[in-house]
Each structure stands twice: as structure tokens, then as C-alpha cells.
Amino acid sequence: SAGHIYLDGTDVTEINEKQIARFRRENLGFVFQDFNLLDTLTISENIALALTINKVPAGEIDGRVREMAGKLNITDILDKYPYQVSGGQKQRCACARAIINQPKLILADEPTGALDSHSSQMLLSTIQSINEDLGATILMVTHDAFSASYANRILFLRDGAIFTEIRKGGDSRRTFFEKILDVLTMMGGGMNDVR
């Protein structure tokens, strides 16, 4: 009927908390600046947690964790605990956990904020390949122009509203980075104003 929105044939006004939680588990992945890993679990167990919550059969979990760890180059640390690995390795573990269920949308909040430049570049390349190879849409919030240059589309926000938008198109990442800096100059801000 007019005025109602339907999701999988269900009237939105009738969606309950279980349906929302299930939708979130099956369709969304999250990558946080501070990793949000559980210190009492190994890297492998942290990644597997998302599969366990989604009730993936136990026999499938180890293979899927190892496959994802291989893609993110963290196979050699699967038996270690978060306090035993570097910040870049922790963030790649967080990425693995976010994408292990092959979500349709990954939300990344300042994913490179706590990383050194080398780890940041590795993570951004990983996020870019997740988008290209796995077809996941990635929505990243960042204040860093370099991180933003890995995107295909950027919305610049000022005072809570969209200021402008640019798209990468066929530009190289270097050319796109220069366009980002031009917009920041036009906005009267610095490198800390990219979203």
C-alpha cells in the first residue's frame, strides 16, 4: 500500500529486533579505527566469530578463515593473540572478520587512523581489492586525503551538509589525490576535512 516500505516482502512497521539483527549480520560488515578485537581470542577465533554467530557449520569455519587470512596476508599470525601482533595485522584481522560473511556493504570508520603509513597503504590496498574482487560496496569515513584517494567517489561534507562530490573515473590515483586537495583548498580547509 502507498506510504509503506517493504523489505523482503515485510512491512517495515512490522520488522522486529531479530530481523534487524539478522539483516545486519548477513549484509553488513564493520571496520573500526580501534579494531574492536577480543583480546581473549586468537586472531583466528576473532575472524571465526562472525561465522559462528551466523551459524556456519563448524566443519566449514577453519577453511574459510584460512582462505580469508591468505587474502589478507595474515595466515602466519592466526594462532597469536591481538596483543602479540602489530597494529596493521590487527586491522587486517578486523577486515577479515568484517568480510568473512561476504557482506554487501562494509562500513569503515577511520580504518587507517591508528596505523603507520606502510600499514595504512597495505590496508587501503586490501579494502580496494575487497571492493574490486568481492564486489562489496565500501562506505569509508576519513579525514585523510591520501586514504580518500583510494575511493571511486567522494562526498565532501561541511557543517553537516554535502559541499560537493567528485568521482575518480579514469583518473590515476595520483591525479584523483590532486583533485581532492583542490577541493579542500576551495573549501578553505586542510587535509583534515575529507569524508
Q: What is the pLDDT of residue 113?
A: 81
Q: What is the pLDDT of residue 2?
A: 47
Q: Write the CB contacts of 144 (distance below 8 Å, at least 6 apart in sequence).
A: 112, 113, 191, 192, 194
Domain 38-141 belongs to what architecture? 3-Layer(aba) Sandwich (3.40)
Domains in the chain: boundaries: 38-141, 145-195
Among candidate residues 90, 58, 67, the one with its CA nearest the CA of residue 77: 90
Which value, in Å, is the radius of gyration of the alpha carbons in the chain? 19
pTM of full prediction above 0.85: no
Q: Write the CB contacts of 70 (distance below 8 Å, at least 6 apart in sequence).
A: none
Residue-wise pLDDT for 17-39, tens only, equals 888 888 888 888 888 878 889 99
Q: Is the pLDDT confidence value at 101 over 70?
A: yes
